[in-house]
Chains A and B, each alone.
Chain A
Amino acid sequence: MTQGSPLATTVVFHVGPLLVTRPVVTTWGIMTVLAVGSWLLTRRLRPEPSRRQAILELVVSGIESQIGEVVRQDARPLLPLLGTLFIFLLTANICGVVPGIQAPTGKIETPAALALIVFLSVHCFGVRARGLLGYLGSFAQPKLIMLPLNVLSEITRTFSLMVRLFGNIMSGEFLIALVLALTGLLVPIPLMALELLVGVVQAYIFFVLATVFIGAAVGGEANETSEAVASPATPVE
């Protein structure tokens, strides 16, 4: 039964006592492609943009405006972290369609690491924006008795961030493998198209939720969003 388990990973090679697994190698590959790609694209930036630079500016300013709409303040300090997170997740989720490559987010370690990054950066941005005491005091809002619940919600929302990404990507891969085993060669293609859509949507959701968490940590009470009320001040008729 443990054969082909979605919770197990294949080890590629060892570095001393460390086991380097396949998702890690894939992640390194994606990191290299993204880093070299962005270095090549931003090598010659000019005031009057070429076509390539215009597309690049469109992507960056699009992500910036998305962050700005959620946090309702200057998006510039958050842009490097969240933009990289989004582009990395997008690449990682949809690289599973390339033959021979498995999406690294379909194994539990990669989403766990990303959720941990979000968890730590929420506190970093919160402390930097409000000061240590001010940020710690925000956990006792609105009453001191809410303190355990607020601390608990920090942990559970990080956990659900991890499980959501892992579950969606992994179940998609599992479904495709199952359909492929039961039927023929070309049958799972519509499912793979659906999986592309799911990958993009999950990358977007992870990005928006990270933005909401960080925005709630830096903002004051006016911007205090719990996980359930994810969008600030939706206009109602």
Chain B
Amino acid sequence: MDAKVISIIAAAVAVSVGSIGPALGEGRSVAAAMDAIARQPEAAGTISRTLFVGLAMIETMAIYCLVIALILLFANPFA
């Protein structure tokens, strides 16, 4: 296998494996926020703002994987 094929496979692995963790984390945090809003509907504004910011933080990990995949595909230093 030459470097091009290896980097295509590596890009696919990076995105697929790297999105598992953020998906689980986002699911947990949305579930917790739903629970909190159901218990305290008057705090919904604060909770959803914090939720959005937190989701952005978690999502960054998946975006990092995407960037790695893009670098491997389009700006590969070895292939």
Contact = CB atoms under 8 A, between A and B. Distances in A.
Interface stretch (A73-81, A137-145, A180-188, A228-236): A228-236
B64 A208 contact: no
B interface SS class: helix
Interface string B27-55: 00000000000011001001101101110
Contacts of B66: 167, 171
Given A7-B70, A204-B52, A230 B64 contact: no
B43 A2 contact: no
B60 interface: yes
A122 B64 CA distance: 24
A163 interface: yes
Interface of B: 4, 39-40, 43, 46-47, 49-50, 52-54, 56-57, 59-60, 63-64, 66-67, 70-71, 73-75
16 contacts: A1-B74, A7-B74, A7-B75, A160-B60, A163-B64, A164-B56, A164-B59, A167-B63, A167-B67, A168-B59, A168-B63, A171-B66, A205-B56, A231-B50, A235-B40, A235-B46
